[in-house]
Amino acid sequence: MAQDASTWAGSWAGSRALLRRLRDLMAGSGAAEQRLHKIVTLIAANLVAEVCSVYVRRAGDVLELFATEGLSQDAVHRTRLQLGEGLVGDIAAHARPLALADAQSHPQFALRTETGEEIYSSFMGVPIVRDGRVLGVLAVQNRTPRTYADEELETLETIAMLLAEIVTSGELVAPGELHADANLLATPSRLEGVRASPGLTMGTALLHQPKIMITNVLADDPEIEQSRIDEALSQVQSALDTALERPDLAGAGEHRDILEMFRMFAQDRGWIKRINEAIQTGLTAEAAVQMVQDDTRARLSQASDRYLRERLLDFEDLTNQMLTRLVGSNQAPAPIGENAILVARGLGPSELLSYRAGLLSGIILEEGSATAHIAIVARALDLAMVVQVPGILDRVSHGDDVLIDADEGHVFLRPADDILESFNAAMMVRDDRQRAYAAIKNLPAISQDGTEVRLMINAGLPVDAARLSEVGAQGIGLYRTEISFLAKAEFPNIAAQAEIYSQVFDSTDDDQPIVFRTLDIGGDKLFPSIADAGEENPAMGWRSLRISLDRPAVLRQQLRALILAAAGRNLHVMFPMLTDVGEFSAARSLLERELERAKHLGTPRPKTIKVGAMLEIPALAWSLSSLLPKIDFLSIGSNDLAQFFFAADRNNPRIDGRYDALSPTFLSLLASLREQAEDQAVPINICGEIAGRTLEAMALVGIGYRSLSMSAGSVGPIKSMIRSTDIAKLSSFTEELLLLPISSLRTRLRAYAKDHNIDL
Ligand code: PEP
Ligand code: MG
């Protein structure tokens, strides 16, 4: 008899009993499909659901109904959905569960009349996942609209973990359908990804994570599993403690910070609690760790916010370490040759740091993000890195020849001779270029017709400041304070913040401005203590200065730390994400209060203070007449400004490149901002990514910008571009271009550069 939902929820013993019965059914006799049918019937009864169905992924990314209790039996093998189609397709495409009281009003709902499902209101489905690959979907439905309890969802996820066994057994569909095409592993291929750390390199593929196979999913005794988890966790924690004591990390600021942060993840209560609960439902320690990771991956990989997605890599790293301790690696460790190119799905910074220095020459990640900590570490180690290369793990084998062009985001596997030849030539050209940039490092960025452009760098960690002199830039135009926060185990107090800012001051000359931008965090991405999770649209939500103004204590602490660190020096403070002048005034008055406080207490104050505004929200562009008289400088955050101007999420790969910052509309806006600032004699600068791209920077210089801030690696190429440009000529050309009724000026600007020998 079916149990009542309220007694089911939270009943771990019930969950374990159900899993045992399911396991017996799976191991029983009869054809796999018959057993599957018994399984769905049992699940439906236990979860008090009228429907329980299993969809299996087939070749061609189709999800086919294989067994159902409650839907029409005629629909079995007839109902087929494409990945992404309907609720089932959506679950599979995003590898994330869905629980809906009113499924039919969900925008993804796609009615299949042959199933007879129009009478069911509520729906709960979970992906069937193994080794990160979605193999199918398990779903239950109810007639009455009901809200499924979290425990029910967890139980369904646990069952799905078990069902993965029967799907991978080869009894339902041929194993070949579940795996990538073997041909993909033999032929040369070229893959595209996203640049994360520049460089061109060639080497041999080294698969980071020989797959850890979980063979034991169900446990007999949760207590034993619990102690296995505790043991593994304490081993991981003590390994981190030992790593932190490594003498070579003693002075290595950001590496150390990152490991510290890891220690925090290893102590994350939410994460540990979910693993413990999964054990209570009847899973083995390793299956519980894997299930929580699959779930975390599904939730975080959907986040439009990059910091959240980066946290995913940290958890992947931790999961791998836990699994290695729980079940060991099932494959012999791969021998590492010289020039290894590390290939992984995701990689955490501590994993990268565990490779012996000098052995790696590049990194390719199937997932990952260009702004993750691993990218910071890769850049610090001078390793070329490309991320978001879909399908790389299906195509690469250990020991394959690999070429990485991280400047363009290209990856070549098993390259043919002609590719190899042109790659060698490209490497030689790149080396020559680097030598040429080094040669002009100490020369100013002066154009052919004698106009100087100020080049500054964007930084986020104290060590970045050292790159100022290395690349020959004139200051830090944007110091993203939240990056240092990110690498800390805890929200840093005033003294800890002041220490970070002092280090930045100490590593630069007095005459080099450092523009400290106040915290630019979004939603709860970094600090759950400050904000809540789960905003629909975090880019336009409670972020950045909005948080700072609503939680003034946080901003005041930061300002106090900046004042302390800047004692006797020149302090530049900049407020991000301003929507109107009132927000600037409110933020500025907090700064004034902190300065008053310092005066009152007699603490040393900065020698000079300049306060700037970041223009990232179009509304502010219409407030300049009242804003400009209040500020000492204006900086254009073109990354956010373009996102809001074009209504195009800067993190959404689907619309990446759809609109061009080199459009007459966007450039006209930038030109008008520059004119208004200059009319009021307010210095203006651009610190978004476009300032560091040669063609875009050429256009910016053409429309009158004389101060650009960019990542350190861009300074050489931009300086070289400016030194080869006649700015007066370029300006009259761009002036005419802005009148053209076209969506991109890219081709024309490139042609101009070519005709005028501008070094791009
Ligand atoms: C910008 O939006 O252009 C900017 C520089 O800030 P961030 O990229 O940190 O949002
Ligand atoms: Mg911004």
CATH number of the domain where residue 629 is located: 3.20.20.60
From the CA of 458, the nearest ligand is: 1
Q: Indicate whether 430 belongs to any domain.
A: no
8 A C-beta contact, residue 734 and residue 670: no
CB burial of residue 561 (10 Å; 0-12, 13-18, 19+): buried
Residue nearest to atom 6 of ligand 1 (CA): 637
Q: Can you tell me the distance from the alpha carbon of 77 to that of 56, in angstroms, rounded to the nearest whole number?
A: 10
Residues 591, 729 share a domain: yes
Neighbour count for residue 374 (Cβ, 10 Å): 32
Q: Which of 641, 687, 708, 711 to mutate to test the pocket of ligand 1 (most atoms within 8 A of CB)?
A: 687
- Which token pair is 228? 């296995």
Could you give the dihedral angle defined by the CA atoms of residues 313, 314, 318 and 323, in that order, rounded to the nearest 10 degrees?
Answer: -10
Q: How far apart are CA 477 and CA 457, in angstroms?
A: 6
Test site for ligand 1: of 305, 480, 484, 650, most ligand atoms within 8 A of the Cβ: 480
How many CA atoms lie within 13 Å of 260's alpha carbon, on the beta-carbon side? 17
pLDDT (0 to 100) of residue 305: 53
Question: What distance in angstroms lies between residue 532's CA and the mean position of ligand 1's atoms?
Answer: 22
Report the distance separating Cα 406 and Cα 723, nearest Å: 25
Q: Which ligand is nearest to the CA of 688?
A: 1
Considering the domain architecture, whether residues 136 and 216 belong to the same structural domain is answered as no
- 743 and 607 in a common domain: yes
- 445 shares a domain with 375: no
Residues 167 and 200 in one domain: no
Atom of ligand 1 nearest to the CA of 637: 3
Instruction: Give kind and range of the element (H or E) at residue 30.
Output: none
- Name the active-site residue from 208, 255, 373, 572: 373
**Domain boundary residue among 387, 419, 451?**
419
Q: What pLDDT sits at residue 243? A: 64
- Record the tokens describing residue 673, joined without a space: 């901002």
CB 367, CB 343: distance < 8 Å:
no
CB distance 369 to 388 below 8 Å: yes
| CA nearest neighbour of 447 among 700, 745, 710 | 700
Index of the ligand 1 atom closest to the CA of residue 520? 9
* Cβ-contact 366, 392 below 8 angstroms: yes
CA angle 558, 562, 567 (to 5 degrees): 150
Which mutation among 640, 650, 710 tests ligand 1's pocket best, with the greatest number of atoms within 8 A of CB? Answer: 640
Q: What are the strands of the beta sheet with 122-130, ordered from one edge?
A: 80-82, 62-69, 51-58, 133-142, 122-130, 98-100
Same domain, 116 and 202: no
Q: Whose CA is nearest to atom 8 of ligand 1?
A: 639
Ligand minimally distant from the alpha carbon of residue 636: 1
Please tell me whether residues 211 and 154 are part of one structural domain: no
Residue 263 lies in a domain: yes
**Residue 425: inside a domain, yes or no?**
no
261 closest CA partner among 33, 486, 82, 461: 486
Q: Is-catalytic flag, 94?
A: no
- The residue whose CA is least distant from atom 1 of ligand 1 is 637
Q: What is the dihedral of CA 27, 33, 38, 44, to 10 degrees?
A: 120
State CA 288 to chain mean position distance: 25
| Ligand 2 centroid – CA 619 distance (Å) | 15
Of all protein residues, the one whose alpha carbon is nearest to atom 4 of ligand 1 is 637
Q: Is residue 374 part of a domain?
A: yes
User: How many folded domains does the chain comprise?
Assistant: 3
Residue nearest to atom 9 of ligand 1 (CA): 480
CA of 687 to the centre of ligand 2 (A): 9
* Same-domain check for residues 345 and 475: no
In ligand 1, the atom with minimum distance to the C-alpha of 576 is: 6
Cβ atoms of residues 82 and 89 within 8 Å: yes
Give the DSSP per-residue string, 118-186: GG--EEEEEEEEETTEEEEEEEEEESS--PPPHHHHHHHHHHHHHHHHHHHTTSSS-HHHHS--GGGGT
| 563 and 465 housed in the same domain | yes
**Token output for 444:** 């100013």
Please name the residue whose Cα sits nearest to atom 3 of ligand 1. Answer: 637
Q: Which of 616, 641, 714 to mutate for ligand 1's pocket (most ligand atoms within 8 Å of CB)?
A: 616
H-helix or E-strand spanning residue 582: helix 581-601
Q: Phi and psi of 528, rounded to 5°? A: -55, -25
Report, as ranges of residue numbers, the positions in the chain whose pLDDT lies below 70: 1-10, 131-132, 175-186, 209-213, 243-269, 297-316, 329-336, 349-350, 353-354, 357, 371-373, 376-377, 380, 463, 484, 486-490, 522-534, 651-654
Q: What type of residue is 76?
A: V
Position 746 in a domain: yes
This prediction's pTM: 0.61
The DSSP element (H or E) to which 51 belongs, if any, is strand 51-58
- Spatial distance between the Cα atoms of 226 and 159, rounded to a whole number of angstroms: 19
CATH number at residue 142: 3.30.450.40
412 with 295, same domain?
yes
Q: Given the CA of residue 638, which atom of ligand 1 is nearest to it?
A: 3
* CA 54 – ligand 1 centroid, Å: 45
Task: Give a yes or no: residue 760 inside a domain.
Answer: no
- Amino acid present at 114: E
Ligand nearest to the CA of 577: 2
Report yes or no: 56 and 79 within 8 Å, Cβ to Cβ.
no
Residues near ligand 1 with C-beta < 6 Å? 478, 480, 520, 616, 637-640, 687-688
**Which residue stretches of 269-372 are H helix?**
269-280, 285-301, 306-327, 349-353
Phi, psi of 55 (to 5 degrees): -110, 135
Which tokens hold the place of 123?
Answer: 């729906």
Is 721:445 a contact under the CB 8 Å cutoff?
Answer: no
For residue 478, which ligand has an atom nearest its CA? 1
Active site residue 52: no
CA 689 to ligand 2 center in whole angstroms: 10
Sort strands 189-192 and 410-413 into parallel, antiparallel or unpaired: antiparallel
Asked whether residue 672 is domain-assigned, the answer is yes
**Strand, helix or coil at 60?**
coil
Q: CA angle, corner 180, sides to 175 and 182, nearest 5? A: 95
For residue 478, which atom of ligand 1 is closest to its CA? 5
- Could you write out the DSSP letters of every residue in 463-530? GGGGHHHHHT-S-EEEEEHHHHHHTSSS---HHHHHHHHHHHHHTS-TTS-EEEEP---BTTSS-TTT
Q: What is the reported pLDDT for 524?
A: 36
DSSP type of residue 117: G
CATH of the domain at 256: 3.50.30.10
Those residues with Cβ within 8 angstroms of residue 307's Cβ, 6 or more apart along the chain or in another chain: 371, 486, 521, 522, 525, 526
Cα distance between residue 157 and residue 18, in whole Å: 13
The reported pLDDT for the residue numbered 614 is 98
Does 252 lie in the same domain as 137? no
Spacing, Cα 556 to ligand 2 middle (Å): 21
The alpha carbon of 637 and the centre of ligand 2 are apart by a number of angstroms equal to: 5
- Residue found under tokens 């540990």: 272
Cα Rg of the chain (Å, integer): 28
What range does the domain containing 476 cover?
440-755
Q: What is the Cα 534 distance to its own chain's centre?
A: 16
Residues 32 and 79 occupy one common structural domain: yes
Q: What's the gap in Å between 657 CA and the centre of ligand 2?
A: 18
Measured in Å, residue 611 CA sits from the centre of ligand 1 at 18
Instruction: Give a three-class secondary structure readout of 83-111.
Output: CCCHHHHHHHHHCCCEEECCHHHCCCCCC
SS (H, E, C) 659-716: CCCCCHHHHHHHHHHHHHHHHCCCCEEECCHHHHCHHHHHHHHHCCCCEEEECHHHHH
Tens digits of residue pLDDT in 640-662: 999 999 998 876 656 777 899 99
User: Quick check: is 180 in a domain?
Assistant: no
Which of 52, 208, 410, 687 is flagged as catalytic?
687
